């Protein structure tokens, strides 16, 4: 009985060691399991440590030889007790960029590999092509907003509104107020450009939207120096 107990204990210890065994693919060091992540806000990089298997109660990622990507996460819930689960997707290694696709949030994303060896992986978030297009779209909209807010609203008679944007299902995204005291021609041209760009963005990336009709305002009121659309 004593020998049986020792054999059982040795087998259990061997099994644990086997589960924690770290396998390194010398031809592709990215393959494997990474956890114990730390984020450096100065360099916007995240550093991972290689381990043998995904932890049960901690964030981690796994890159498998068949192209499968596994994200061990607790989601966005920050209140204990945390419940961890796996989200699966696929990945492609393109030189020093890891392109990941998952069906859940955040969807497609890219990591640029800053450093990689047998024990450490350092990555930096890199914008996808869609995110770059969206950023350019928002830059144009920000210009429109800055022009709209460049004049204090003191007399509503000097203000009007215009539809902007393009919903994927048709119609404008909304309406924005503008003053007759600004360069109205330039402002309306920017709105036209933004609307065209958003329509192109929606078609290019297959963006969906609701098909409800965006209500049109009736007038602009001045409240505390700001234009307020009234419906």
pLDDT digits (tens, 9 = 90+) for 122-179: 999 999 888 999 999 999 999 999 999 999 999 999 999 999 999 999 999 999 999 9
Global pTM? 0.65
| Strand stretches in 9-153, DSSP E | 32-40, 45-51, 60-63, 68-73, 85-94, 97-102, 109-116, 120-126
Q: Cα angle at 112 between 109 and 117, to 5 degrees?
A: 125
| Omega before residue 181 within 30° of 0, cis | no
In this prediction, residue 192 has a pLDDT band, given cuts at 50, 70 and 90, of very high
pLDDT confidence of residue 23: 85
Higher pLDDT, 84 or 76: 84
Centre a 10 Å sphere on the Cβ of residue 29 and count the other Cβ atoms it contains. Answer: 17
pLDDT confidence of residue 148: 95
In this prediction, residue 50 has a pLDDT band, given cuts at 50, 70 and 90, of very high
Centre a 10 Å sphere on the Cβ of residue 33 and count the other Cβ atoms it contains. Answer: 21
Give dist(CA 96, CA 37) in Å, integer: 19
* Number of continuous H segments (helices) and E segments (strands) in the chain: 3, 12
Give dist(CA 68, CA 34) in Å, integer: 14
Centre a 10 Å sphere on the Cβ of residue 187 and count the other Cβ atoms it contains. Answer: 19
The H or E element that residue 144 is part of is: helix 129-148
Burial (CB < 10 A; 0-12, 13-18, 19+), residue 139, is exposed
Is residue 58 a contact partner of residue 86, using CB atoms and an 8 Å limit? no
pLDDT confidence of residue 21: 82
pLDDT confidence of residue 78: 54
Give dist(CA 31, CA 35) in Å, integer: 13
98 DSSP β-pair partners:
93, 111
In this prediction, residue 187 has a pLDDT band, given cuts at 50, 70 and 90, of very high
pLDDT confidence of residue 104: 73
Give dist(CA 148, CA 186) in Å, integer: 11
Q: Which residue has the tokens 């994200």?
A: 71
Q: State the chain's maximal CA–CA distance in angstroms.
A: 97
pLDDT digits (tens, 9 = 90+) for 103-120: 776 678 999 999 999 999
The two tokens of residue 37 are: 């992540």
Cα 157 to Cα 17, 62, 75, 160, 200, distances in angstroms: 78, 61, 49, 8, 35
């Amino acid at each position: 009985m004593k020998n049986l107990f020792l054999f059982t204990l040795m087998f259990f210890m061997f099994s644990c060691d086997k589960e924690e065994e770290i396998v390194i693919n010398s031809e592709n060091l990215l393959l494997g399991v990474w956890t114990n992540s730390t984020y450096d806000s100065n360099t916007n990089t995240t550093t991972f440590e290689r381990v043998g298997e995904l932890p049960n109660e901690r964030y981690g990622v796994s890159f498998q030889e068949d192209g499968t990507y596994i994200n061990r996460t607790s989601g966005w819930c920050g209140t204990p007790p945390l419940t961890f689960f796996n989200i699966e997707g696929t990945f492609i290694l393109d030189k020093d960029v890891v392109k990941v696709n998952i069906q859940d949030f955040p969807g497609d994303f890219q990591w640029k590999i800053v450093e990689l060896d047998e024990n450490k992986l350092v990555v930096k978030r890199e914008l996808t092509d869609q995110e770059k297009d969206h950023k350019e779209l928002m830059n144009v909209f920000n210009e429109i907003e800055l022009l709209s807010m460049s004049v204090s609203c003191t007399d509503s008679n000097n203000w009007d509104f215009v539809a902007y944007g393009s919903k994927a299902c048709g119609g404008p995204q909304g309406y924005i107020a503008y003053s007759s005291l600004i360069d109205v021609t330039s402002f309306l041209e920017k709105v036209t450009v933004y609307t065209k760009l958003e329509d192109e963005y929606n078609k290019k990336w297959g963006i969906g939207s609701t098909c409800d009709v965006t209500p049109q305002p009736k007038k602009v009121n001045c409240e505390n120096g700001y234009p307020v659309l009234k419906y």
